[in-house]
Structure 1
Amino acid sequence: MLLCKGTDDMTRLFLTVCTALFVVLSSTSFAQEQSRAILVLDGSGSMWGQIDGTAKISIAQDVVGDLLQSLPENQKLGLTVYGHRRKGDCSDIETIITPEAGQHGAIVEAVNSIKPKGKTPMTDAVIAAAEALRYTEETATVILVSDGIETCNPDPCAAARALEEAGVDFTAHVVGFNIGDPEAIAQMRCMAEETGGTFRTADTAAELSNALAVIATPVPAPEPEPNPVSLQAYAIDGRNGPRITDGLIWNLTSLDGVILENQAVSDIRVEVERGEYVISVLRIADEAFDEQRFGIGSVDKQIVLELPELRPPATIEGPATAIAGSTVQVRWSGPDQKGDLISVADPEASSPWINYAYTKNGPLLDLVMPSVEGEYEMRYVSSDHRKVLATQKISVTPVEASVTPPEALPAGATVFVDWVGPDYQSDIIAVTAPGTDQLINYVYTRHGSPAELMLPTDPGNYDIVYRMSQKNRMLARVPVTVSGLQYSVSGPASAPAGSDVQVDWVGPDYRSDIIAVAELGADNRKYLTYTYTKEGSPLDLTLPLETGQYEIRYILGQDRVVQATTEIEVTAITANLKAPQTASAGSIIQIDWLGPDYRGDIIVVSKPGEPDRSYLNYSYTKGGTPLDLTLPAFPGNYVVKYLAGAAHKSLATSNITVTEVSATLSAPASTSVGDKIEVTWTGPDYRGDLIAIGEPGENYTTYAYTKKGSPLTVAAPNKPGSYEIRYVMSADRRILAVTPLTVQ
C-alpha cells in the first residue's frame, strides 16, 4: 500500500517524496515478491491548498502520472481515494482501482478526475486498502508519508495494532515530514512500532530524501525460518457475554490436517506455524456450535467464538391483566439460583425490570405492577448476567382515584377530604402548589377516608391531590382556594418585668397556636415566653425579666407563622433583702426580703463571682418573709441573692461571712462486735447532724442523731476491725470530728 499526501513545502518536494516512495516499492516489495499494492491518495478539501501558486491536488496528479510511467506494467497496483465525494463525511473512502497488473492508465485517469471536498479519514483509508489486498492472507507493506494528524479515526495506534494482529505479515514504515504537533508524531510513531516498521522525521527535503533512502535500501538478510506463535481461543455465552469455562468440545485443523480433535477443555492454548486454520467449539448442554476460519502470521493470536446464550428451562404464570400499581401473584418454575428474580418490565426498554421480587421468597410471589397503564411482560430473570429465561405478557389497566374537599377552606385549618383510590402502601392525600407536584402538607390514605389534611397558612390558590407512592404519580387533582382569617392580639402598653399580663386575642385557635412575647424584629420561631391559645381569651402571658420594648404575637402552630402583633414596654422591677453579716457554717439563718415574689423566685447563697444559676442552697420566696436559708458547710465569704423568675435574674444581693464550727468526741478506744458504746460529744447540733461509726475512708455503717443529746448510745459494727467515730454535720455531710475505735 502507498499513501501520498500533499505537504506545505514546495512542489518539487512533493515530487521527491512520491518518487522516493515508488523507488522503495520497486526496489523492495514489488521487485522481490511481486506483491500487490494500493496507492492511497488524499482527496480531502485541504488538497486545494497551494504551494508556490499551484494546488496540491494538481501537483499530486502530475507526479502520479509521471511516476506511473516509470513502473513496469506487470506490477499489480491499485488506487484508494478518500474525501473526494462528500463534505464532512468520515466514511468517504473508495477503492477505485483494485490491485492488478496493467492498471496504470486507469489509475492516472482516476487520479486526474479527483475534485477534493471532504475530511481526512487517513487511517480508515489504509484499513480499506489493506482489506482490498487480503492482508490476512498475503504479505502487505505500507510506506506512509504524512504531514498532518488523523481527523477521523479515534485511535490510529489501535488500528495499526489490529492490522498487525490480523495480518499474515503487515508492516508500516512511516515518515513524518515537517510535523510540529506532538500528538501527530506520537500517532505515527505508534503506527510504525505496532507493525514492526520504522518511524523517521524530516524537516527538509534533504532529510526526507535521506530518511526514504534508509528505508528503501535495507541490508539484505537471509529469510529466517518463521517461529511458532501462540494461539489462544475461548468461547463466550452470547454477544458480549461471559466466558464459558466448562462443558465445551474443541476441534482445530489446518490445511495439512487435524491438530486437535474433540478436546473437552475450557479453552485452547497451542503453538502453531504460519498458515490458515479452522477452529470450532460445541457446547454439550444445548449442542450449540460455532466455527471460525483465520490466518496466522508472525504475531500471537486470540480467537473468540460466540455461542448462543444458554437459557435454562423456566416458566412464569400470572394474570393477563392487572390494575396499575396493584400487587398480583405470580407462579414460576426455574433454576432458583441465588439472585434470580421475577420482574415486570417494559418490553421496549433495555432494563430487565421496573419492579421485581426474588425467587428465594417462594414459588408464588407478590409482584407490584407498574404505576402507568400499558403493555408489559413478566419475566424470569436469571442472576447469570440477567438472562431472561421466561416471559408472559400482561396488560396493565388504568387506576382511578378522586378527591372531594369541603367548601370552606380556611388558611391553616385541618379539614376533612373525602377520597376514593387504590389506597396502596404510602399513598397520600396532599395539598400542593397549583399545577405542581410540590407537596406542602399531606396525610397517608391508610388513615382512611375522609383524610384530615392541614391547609397552608397563607391564603391563595392550591391543589388537593391523590398521589400514588409508586413513581409519585398524581392520580387525582382538584384546584381549591384557601381563604384568609381574622387575627388580633391586645394587651397593656407596659408592665413590670417578669409579671403576668392578660392578653386578649382573636384567631382560629388551631392546635398548637400560641400567644408569645418576643424581641422586636426577632425571627418567627424566636420567642421568649408563650401560652397556648387553648387556654382561652384573655390568657395570662409571662413577660421577660429584661426591660425594654417587646411585641406580643399570635403565632400559628403550623410553620410558626406570626399572624398578629402588638407592642409592650417591659419596665424595671426591684427587690431587697436583709441577712446577717456573719453566721456559723451549716447554720440556718433568716432572710428578710422584699420583691415581686413571682412563681419560682428564690433566695440563694452562692460563692462570690459565680453565675446566678450556680448556687449552693436556696429557699422559695413563696414561703414569705422572713425565710430560712441553710448556709454552706465550709467557712468563707459568700453572697446571698434574690433570683427572680425562671431566668433566675438577680435583683438584690447581700454579702455574708460564714465562720468555722467545731465538734469534739469522747468514747472508748475499743469494744466488742455488736456492743453498744456511749459517746460524749459537743458540736453545733444542727437538724440532721449525727454521730456515726465507719471504716476509715468509707461510708458509715451505724449512727445516731445528735438531737438525742450527749452522751448518746451508738451500736458497734458487726464485723471486727479498725473503725472511726465521727461527728457528721448534715450540711454537705461534713465531718467535724473523728476518734478511732477498735472492734474486737
Structure 2
Amino acid sequence: MLVFDASGSMWNRVDGDLTRIEVARDVMGDYFGSRDGTVPLSVIAYGHNRRGDCGDIEVIAPMGQTAPGTLESRLRGLMPRGMTPLTDSLRMARGQIPQTAEAADIILVTDGLETCAGDPCALAAELAAEGIDIRAHVVGFGLTRAEVEALSCITEQTGGMLFQTNSGAELADALQQVSAVMSEPEPVPEPEPEPARVAAFDIGDKAEAGFAYPIGWTGAASFVDYMGFVPQGATSGTVSPSYGVIGGTGANPNNPATRTAPKEPGMYDLILVSVSDGVIARQVVEVVPPSMGFEPIGSVEPDSRVRFAFRGPERVEERIVIADLDQPVNEHQRHNWAFALHKNGATNLKVPAEPGEYEVRYLNAKRTEIMFSRRFGVGIPFEDADLTTSADLSAQAAAATRGDAAQDDIASVPATFRLPADAAQSDVSWEAVPLDPDMSPEAWAPQDTGPVISGTFEPGRWRVTAFAPGEVELSAEVAIFPGQVNDFIVQLQDSGETDNGALMLDGPWRVVAVPPRDAPAGAATDVMDMLRITLRTRADAGGWEGSFAPTALMVGPQGSLETAALGSATEEEGYVFLRFALPAVSPEPFVISLSPYDNGYSGTMASGPNSLPVVFWPQDQSLPALPALQDQLYGP
C-alpha cells in the first residue's frame, strides 16, 4: 500500500524552482515502472480534492496489478489543496490488505505531520498487534529531522524504515531501499533465538510542559525497568516525576505508567530502559509551553465561598492560594488555600471578609514560584479584561500538540493576463471571480488598466474578464496553481466563435455517471466514476489530444485499466465531443457529448444504441450534491 501526500503543502519548493509535487510526480512515475509489478499494489492519496476536509482521502488505485502508466497518470492528475490526515489514511491502507495476506508493507510518503487530530503513533501500535506482519515505512519529504523523528513511532512499532529526504534523488533512493527490503525473502530463523526486546509508546510527538501523561507501552519491559523523559541522546535520567521505575508487580507492571513532561519546553527523548539490556525504546517528543491559568472571577461577596476554575498540571504539593497583592511567594496560609492535586480544574475557597483587591495564585510544590495567577475584587467593583476560560486554554494546548494548523495552506500565486494579439491593445479594466466552492469569495478588481496585467491569487479556478472600450468584453476561465506557468490570454466573449483556449479543457478530468432518482432496487444510488481523462491543446489548435483510463467499474473486475489515447476531442457549435474506443466493453466506439455546466460539463456517454447520463468534472474539485446533478441530467 502506497499512501501519497497531496496536501496543500506539497506546493512548497524543494529542488530549485520545482515544487514538491512536481518532483514527487516524476519520482513516483519512475518508481511505478521499476518496482516488481507482480506484487499487488494499492495507491491511496489524501488532500487533493477539498480544502479543510480531513475526510479527503481516496483510493486512486485499488489493490491489484495496475499498469505503471495508469498509476503514473492518476498520480499526475492529483492537485494538492487540502489537509494531512495521516492516521485515517494509514487506517484506510490497512483496509486494503486482503484477508488472505500473510504480510504487507505500507509506504507513507508525507511532507507534513498530522493536521486532523489523529494519533498515528496509536494506530501504529494497532498495526503492530495485527495477526499478520504489517511493516509501515515512512518517507518524510521536505521534513525537518525533528519532524521525521516525530513519526519514528510508526516505524519503530512496525519494524519499518524511516527516511528524511529533501530532493528528488533522495526520495527515489528511499523508495528503492524500501522496495529492496520488501523483495527480500524471509530470513531462516536460527535455532531457539533470543526473543526480541522491543517496546513502543502510545504518546504523540508533542507534550505540554509540566503536565502528567499516562503513557502506554508495548514490549518486553518489566516492573523494575525505567521509563521517562530525558535530554536527547541520553541513556538514563534522574529519578523524578518525569523519569522513574515503571513499578507494579512482576506479573502486572504499570501500563500505562504516568510521567510528567519536563518543565522546560524543548526537544526530549522518551525512553524505556531495561535493567539488563539498556535502552530498548526511544521516541522524540517535543515539549511545548503550557497553557495554564484561572478563569475570570470579577467581584465576589466578602467572607463567601467562591468556586475558582483553572487549568493547571495538578501535581503533588502544588497549591491554590488566596493572597494579598504584596504577599510573599513562600507564604500560603495568610488566607484560605488548598492543594491542587485531584481538584479536576476547580476548587472552592473562602475569600477574605475585608473588602479589597486580592489575587488567587497557583504555586509550585516548593512554594518558590507563582506558576499563574488572577486578580479579583472582594466587596468592590472589579472588571476583568481577560475572559480566557479553561476550555480556551485546553483548546490552545490541543492545537500546540498537533501539527502546525497552517502546514497545508497554499501560498498565493502570481498570474498574468493578456489580451489576444489580434485585439486592440488599448487600456482595459479587469476583474476576476473565484469559481471553486472552497475558495474565498472575494473577487479581484485592480485599479490598474492595460492590455497586460498581473496579480496575486488564491490557487484555484477563476473567471477572468476584461472590459475594453466600445462595450467589448473578453473572458476566460483559468486554473491558477503553483508549479505551472500562470500566463493566460483572454478571448473575445461576444465574437460568436468559441476558442479552444477559452474553454480551458487542458488538465485532468473525471467522467462520472449519475443514477436517476427512481433507480430500481439493487442499482447504484450514488455517483459512479467511469473514466479519468487528461486533455491538452493540440499544437495545431485543432481541438485537443489526450488519454483516458477506465475504472474497474467501467471494464469490470477482470478488465484492463491501462491508459490509452483518445480518438479525438473537439468543440462543435458550443458542444464538446470526446471519442475513444474500448473494445473490451463495446465493439462500437464511445462518444461523450457535453455542454457547459457549473464548473464542468454535463451530457451523455454513448456507444451504439446505449447511452448513460454523465458529468465531466475537474479532478481537483468536488462534485455538486447528487440532487443538483440529477436536476441537471434528468430535469427537476
Scaled by the length of structure 2, the TM-score of the pair is 0.27
Flag the structure with more relative contact order, 1 or 2, with Cα contacts below 8 A and sequence separation at least 6.
2
Scaled by the length of structure 1, the TM-score of the pair is 0.23
Larger radius of gyration: 1
More strand by share: 1
